[in-house]
Amino acid sequence: MRLHEFQAKTLLTGYGIDVPEGRVALTSEDAATIARDLGSEGFAVKAQIRSGGRGKAGAVRIVRTPEEVATAAGLFLGRTFVTAQTGPDGAKAHSVLVERAVTASRSLYVSFFIDAAKAEAVLLAGAEGSEDIEQQVHTGEMRLERLSLAPGEGIGESEAAALGQRIGISGNLLPEFVSLLQRLARAFSALDATLLEINPLLLTGNGDFVAADAKIVIDDNALFRQPELAALREEQEDNEGERVAQNRQLNYIQMDGDIGLVANGAGLGLATLDMVRAANGRPANFMDIRTTASSLDVAYGFSLLLNNPAVRSILVNVHGGGMQPCDTIADGLGIAMRRTGRTLPTVVRLAGNNAEYARFRFANFGCRVIDRPDMWSAATRAVEEARAAGGRQ
């Protein structure tokens, strides 16, 4: 379950994370009132949709007066924004976040996510924050430092300090940065999150770290023990496929592209999506198959892709283990193809429990299956297959 920015920031303040002062408005009049109460010389007005890429979609504005805040809010509220993550239908903004603008001396990147392939939590940190961070990492413009985290142990001071030094944090700022990472790690664990991203993390002239933007994805499998978070779900913002997918043990988000993606684990799914983009491909969706999904649930997910005429190839990137062996995914594809009557070139990267048996199953479904040993070769081949089938360049 993805949270809105304002929801994520509210949760983070409970763990001692500084965020810009601000409130949510449902009308342009409320937005102007909030701005007057803040009394700042500048304001950030942000449409609240559960999607990245809002800046590029025109969903964020920096303005100077309460009147300009009201104007921006009036333009945002009720408007549908289309981003790379929303798909062609976009997402409608029902509220705006009005914040005091933050003057920063430096912008950083910090994220925590679950790497399903390695069954570990991971911390990434970068010396710069950017909306185009995936592309910049791919082109070598930016380097992200990676730190694997032991389950339930948090982050030690020495390893956090070493990470901070690698991205240029030093002097009196280093202990503050270490403390920040430790608090974020506690939040990540306590909230049962699969992703916690601060981009950008701003450093002010006073030496304070401020989470200017925040993204949190909660593990749907853990919502039974997170009733307050479960109550935040807003069904009116989900399309029908996404809504049904939630009940079929799938986290599914439709996007505007021609390459269908299937992965098990939010971290692996996001990495797959980023890899396809780095290969100049266009993902048609994000799909995270939960460990409790059956082959029939998986079949529903594949059916969403096969019933989408824009999809020209499918990329399957799974790591079998525990409750969900690889052949469960393979059987789901077979069922979906029989139901829909459509086959597509399918690139698979398999590892873990029953991977070899899954390859055998894939090979007997009557579709062209291309086995690849690693994520990059799988992503590039899926892009090639989509283009060969007449997908977008």
Q: Whole-angstrom Cα distance, residue 194 to residue 111?
A: 10
Residue 357 annotated as catalytic? no
Does residue 277 contact residue 331 with C-beta atoms inside 8 Å? no
Instruction: Name the CA dihedral angle for 117, 139, 197, 101, rounded to a multiple of 10 degrees.
Output: 180
Asked if the bond preceding 88 is cis, omega within 30° of 0, the reply is no
List alpha helices for the chain, DSSP H.
Answer: 5-13, 28-38, 66-76, 133-139, 157-166, 173-190, 227-230, 240-247, 266-278, 295-306, 326-340, 355-363, 375-388
- List the catalytic residue out of 99, 134, 197, 242: 197
DSSP conformational letter for 3: P
Residue 15 annotated as catalytic? no
- With tokens 């100077």, the residue in question is 64
Token digits of residue 181 = 């990472």
User: Strand, helix or coil at 310?
Assistant: coil
The 10 Å Cβ neighbour count of residue 348 is 25
- List the catalytic residue out of 109, 237, 300, 385: 109
Instruction: Name the CA dihedral angle for 15, 20, 23, 27, rounded to a multiple of 10 degrees.
Output: -140
- With tokens 């439709």, the residue in question is 254
> Cα(first)–Cα(last) distance of the chain, in Å?
32
Q: Which of 42, 35, 83, 43 is nearest to 59 (CA)?
A: 83
Cα angle 306-277-96, degrees, rounded to a multiple of 5: 90
Which residues belong to the active site?
A: 109, 197
